[in-house]
Amino acid sequence: MRPSANRLFYLALLLMILPAAAYGAPVTRSLSTAEPGAGEVFTVSLSVGDIPLGGVVETLPGGYIFAGTEHPDDRTLIRGQMIAFTVADEAVITYSVKAPASGSGDIVGVWEDFAAEAHGEIVPSHVAVDGVEVPGGGRVSTHRRPGRLAPPPPHSDRRSLPCGTPPGWSAMKRPLLVIALLLIAAAVSATGIPGDADGNGILDEHEYRAAALTYLVGEGDLTRTDIQDAAWVFTHWDGRPLEITDSTGQTLTLTRPLRRVVTFSGEALETLRSLGFDMDRIVAVDKYSHEKIIFFPECAEKANVGSWLSPDMERILTLKPDAVFLYATITTATCDEIQQKLEAGIPGIRVLRFDCFKPATYPDEIRTIAAATGCEDRGDEFVAFYTSVMDRIRTETAGIPDDEKTRVYFEYWTDYKTFAAGSGYNEKLEIAGGYNPFGGESAEYPEIDPEAVIVSNPEVIVKLTGQQLAAGGYVGRDIAALEATRSAITKRPGWARLAGVDDDRVHVIHSDILGGAQHFIGTAYLAKWFYPDRFTDLDPNAIHQRYLTEFQGLDFNLAAEGAFVYP
C-alpha cells in the first residue's frame, strides 16, 4: 500500500521532533536586513530545496516577534520564540519578524529530513536593531530535551498564545475539534496504533495531526517512536493495521513497523537485505549467519542467538525484539515451541514464519515480507528479477515430454545419497527440466545402491558441495577443491561407461546457490547443463553477479572471488 499524496504533510510534522545533530547544511537562511530599525518588520527566507519531506524549527532572540508567514496555517506552529514549519518539497519558506525597540541576538534553527533520516543545525544569523549590540544579546537557548523541541524561554507559557502575534493571525485559531483531540491523543494502546484516540483501530487525518502536534508542543505521553510509528502506519498502511498471512497460514495483525528484529533464518535475513530493509534494525541473527562474515559482514557485531535447533532464549528475551523470523516448514515442532516461548515472554511480539527457499512459495513470501517492512517498491523489483529467471526456465522446459527429459543423477554431500520427490532440491531439478530416476523413492533423501546408479545410466551427473562437503562457496576461491570433487566422481568403479561421464557432463555445484534464497541462480545452472542448446542465452554467472551487486549490495567480484560451480 503506497502513501497518498494528500497525507505527506502530516508525516512531515514529525521531522521537527528529532534531536539536533550535525549532518551538513542543506538549509540556509537569509535576511532582508540584519540591522532592522526599531519596530521594523523584516523578512527571513529559508532555502530548503534539498528536503523532500522534513521540517524546520526557528528560534528568535528575546524581544523579536514572529509577524507572519505565507506558509500554510496548518503547517505552521508557534510556541513563544519558536516557529516550526513542515517541509514538503518547497524550495523556499519565508516569514516576517518584528524587531524590538532595541536588542541584538542570533536567529537559530534546526532542520529535519525525514526521508533521509538526517538532521542538523542551520548556521545562526545575527541581528541587531540599528546595528547596536546589546550585552547578553537576548539569545534564546536552543537546548533540546531528548525527543522534544527546544523549550520556550522560562517566561513563556506553553499553552498561551504566542507573545506579540498580530490580531487575527489564523494559525492560532485552532478548531475546537483539534484542541479536543490534542488532549486525548496520548491515550494510546500499547498494542494498537499510536495516536488512535478513539480506539477504533484506524488512525485518521485528525488523529494523526493531533498526535503529532501534541508531541511537538511537549504535551501528552507519546514518545518519538510512537509518533514515528504512527507516521509509518498512516503513510504505508493508510492508517490501518496491516494483516499478513505467513507461510504457516497464521494471520498476523501489524500495528507498528518492525524496529528490533531477530532472524533465525539466514534465508529470511538475505531476503530482508534484498528488499533494502534497514539492517540496523536487525538486532540479532542465528549462529550460521553470524559465522558468514564474507556474505553477512554487517552481522559480525550483532548478537548471536544460536540456531532454531538450539536457541539462546535468555539472550533473545534480553534483547526485547518486536519481531522474530522463523522457518515455516523446517522442524515445525521445534519452531512452534520457540514461537510459544517468545509469545509468552514478550507481549505483543510478532513471530513471522517464512521459508524463503522454495520456488513455489518464494515470490509470495517476498511480497508479504515487503509489505510488512514497507519495502513494496523494492519487493516488486526483486520479484520481477527472480521471476524473470525462473519463468524463463519453466517456459522453456514445460513442453518437454517425460521420455525426452534429461536423466540426472544428483548426489547430496554424502556419497550415493540423493533426493526424491517432495524435497526442495528435486523441485528445482524438475523446474530445470531434469528427470530424476530416483524420484519415486519413499525416503526424501534416500541412500542409493551404487549399482542402481550405473543401471540408471544418467546423462548428467551433479554433485552438491558445501556444509557437509566443504569445497567452494563465498570464502576464498577454492576451484581446485571443486575440481578434485568432480575428478573423484568420474573415477568411481564402473562410472567410466556412464553417459554423463563419457560425454563430460559431470558438474559440481555449491549449496549456497541452490539450497537457500539463491536457489534461482543454481536452477539456472542446472537448466544450462541439462539443455545447453535451449539456454544458449542464459548466463547464470551474470544473474549471480547482478543479484550480489544490485540486491545484496555486496562488493563481490565473481571473476576473482568465490567458487560455486565446476566446470
**Between 212 and 257, the higher pLDDT residue:** 257
pLDDT band (50, 70, 90) for residue 50: confident
Neighbours of 82 (CB within 10 A): 25
Question: Quick one: which H or E segment has residue 425?
Answer: helix 424-431
Least confident of 107-116, 416-425, 517-526: 107-116
CA gap 308, 305 in Å, rounded: 9
Cell 518588520 sits on residue: 41
Cell digits of residue 250? 497464521
φ, ψ for residue 157 (rounded to 5)? -95, 120
Label the pairing between strands 54-59 and 82-87: antiparallel
3-class secondary structure, 193: coil
φ, ψ for residue 130 (rounded to 5)? 55, 20
Neighbour order of strands in the sheet with 506-510: 434-435, 406-411, 460-465, 506-510, 565-566
**Between 224 and 60, the higher pLDDT residue:** 60
* Cα within 13 Å of Cα(125), Cβ side: 20
Does the structure show a pLDDT above 80 at 128? yes
C-alpha distance across the termini of the chain, in Å = 45
Which of 218, 546, 228, 235 is closest to 382 using CA atoms? 546
pLDDT band (50, 70, 90) for residue 380: very high
For residue 114, the model assigns a pLDDT of: 60
Which of 332, 524, 523 is closest to 427 using CA atoms? 523
Task: Give the start-end residues of each E strand in 32-88.
Answer: 41-47, 54-59, 65-69, 76-79, 82-87
For residue 217, the model assigns a pLDDT of: 62
3-class secondary structure, 557: coil
For the CA atoms of 32, 33, 37, 42, the dihedral, rounded to the nearest 10 degrees, stands at: 30
pLDDT band (50, 70, 90) for residue 84: confident
Does the structure show a pLDDT above 90 at 2? no
For residue 183, the model assigns a pLDDT of: 37
Task: Read off the pTM.
Answer: 0.78
What residue type is 5 in one-letter code? A
Does the structure show a pLDDT above 60 at 21? no
CA gap 242, 256 in Å, rounded: 9
Does the structure show a pLDDT above 50 at 12? no
**Between 493 and 54, the higher pLDDT residue:** 493
Does the structure show a pLDDT above 90 at 391? yes
Domains, the chain, in order of start with CATH, read 5-134+160-172 (2.60.40.10), 176-236 (no CATH), 243-374 (3.40.50.1980), 399-566 (3.40.50.1980)
For residue 538, the model assigns a pLDDT of: 98
Does the structure show a pLDDT above 80 at 565? yes
Rounded mean pLDDT, 215-226: 75
Q: What is the DSSP string of 332-360?
A: HHHHHHHHHHHHHHSTT-EEEE-----TT
For the CA atoms of 385, 390, 393, 395, the dihedral, rounded to the nearest 10 degrees, stands at: -100
Q: What is the DSSP string of 426-488?
A: HHHHHHTTEE-TTTT-SSSS-B--HHHHHHH--SEEEEEEBTTB---BSSS--HHHHHHHHHH
Does the structure show a pLDDT above 90 at 377? yes
Say how far residue 473 (Cα) sits from the centre of its chain: 26
Question: Measured between alpha carbons, how far is residue 423 from residues 395, 419, 436 in Å?
Answer: 22, 7, 12
On average, the pLDDT of the chain sits at 85
Per residue in 331-346, pLDDT (tens digit) is 999 999 999 999 999 9
For residue 218, the model assigns a pLDDT of: 67
Per residue in 447-464, pLDDT (tens digit) is 999 999 999 999 999 999
**Between 284 and 233, the higher pLDDT residue:** 284
Does the structure show a pLDDT above 90 at 255? yes
Rounded mean pLDDT, 84-112: 90
Does the structure show a pLDDT above 70 at 189? no
CA gap 428, 132 in Å, rounded: 81
Per residue in 149-186, pLDDT (tens digit) is 433 333 233 222 223 333 332 333 333 333 333 333 33
Label the pairing between strands 65-69 and 92-98: antiparallel
pLDDT band (50, 70, 90) for residue 516: very high
Q: What are the residues whose beta carbons fall under 8 Å from the beta carbon of 329, sequence distance 6 or more?
A: 247, 248, 355, 358
Question: Measured between alpha carbons, how far is residue 477 from residues 57, 103, 254, 513, 561 in Å?
Answer: 54, 71, 44, 15, 5
CA angle 561, 366, 400 (to 5 degrees): 80
Does the structure show a pLDDT above 70 at 119? yes
CA gap 25, 121 in Å, rounded: 7
CA gap 225, 48 in Å, rounded: 25
For the CA atoms of 60, 94, 216, 375, the dihedral, rounded to the nearest 10 degrees, stands at: -140
For residue 149, the model assigns a pLDDT of: 41
Does the structure show a pLDDT above 80 at 212? no
Least confident of 188-192, 330-334, 529-533: 188-192
CA gap 64, 164 in Å, rounded: 9
**Between 99 and 121, the higher pLDDT residue:** 99
CA angle 347, 357, 250 (to 5 degrees): 35
Query: Counting beta carbons within 10 angstroms of the beta carbon of residue 154, is it exposed (0 to 12), middle (13 to 18) or buried (19 or more)?
Result: exposed
3-class secondary structure, 57: strand
Per residue in 467-513, pLDDT (tens digit) is 878 889 999 898 999 999 999 999 999 999 999 999 999 999 999 99
What residue type is 125 in one-letter code? S
For residue 9, the model assigns a pLDDT of: 41
For residue 465, the model assigns a pLDDT of: 95
Q: What is the DSSP string of 86-153?
A: EESS-SEEEEEEE--SS-EEEEEEEEEETTTTEEEEEEEEEEEGGG---TTTTPPP----TTSPPPPP
Question: Measured between alpha carbons, how far is residue 229 from residues 20, 114, 312, 480 in Å?
Answer: 20, 13, 29, 52
